[in-house]
Amino acid sequence: MKKYRNFLFIIAFIALLVSQYKVVMPFVYKVVSSDLFLVNSNDQASQIAISTPLTDIAFHYCNDFIKTDLGDTVKVTFPDKAINSWTLGNYQYLISAEISITGADTMTSIKKYACRITYNNGDDQSGINDFANWSIIGISGLKDN
């Protein structure tokens, strides 16, 4: 058997490649092209910046979260509107804005941030004004590197 070890390895390797090509990949393509991962939603993604009532609410909830996260040791001044806001589809939003932070040393710095937030109730918009129905996925740009 030691004599044919390399030959058996090559045959097994070829069999693995052929099974991947003929069995596994067609199955993967069939699953990907199906509706298995399709999310039906009235909120469609947009590559251009938009401003809707939902993006305005998302902006205010991001600001509330930032104010709570930074605490009472600093004074934070928020603008009236975000610089840009995008819908990522399925009620997920990306908000870009800048804030003015005044620390205990009375030094003021202006920081830009990006906030990704999701409205959890989907097409049911009866609870858009309740922060419990929103989830902050992440905020970047506020912490010093």
CA distance to 17, 34, 44, per residue, from 22 (Å): 9, 19, 36
- pLDDT, tens digit (0-9, with 9 covering 90-100), for 102-126: 876 767 888 899 999 999 988 888 8
Helix or strand (DSSP H, E) at 131: none
pLDDT at 144: 60
pLDDT in 10s for each residue of the chain, 145 residues: 678 899 999 999 999 999 999 999 999 999 888 877 776 777 777 788 888 888 999 999 999 999 988 888 888 888 989 999 998 888 899 999 999 888 767 678 888 999 999 999 888 888 888 888 999 999 988 776 4
pTM for the predicted model, two decimal places = 0.70
pLDDT at 145: 43
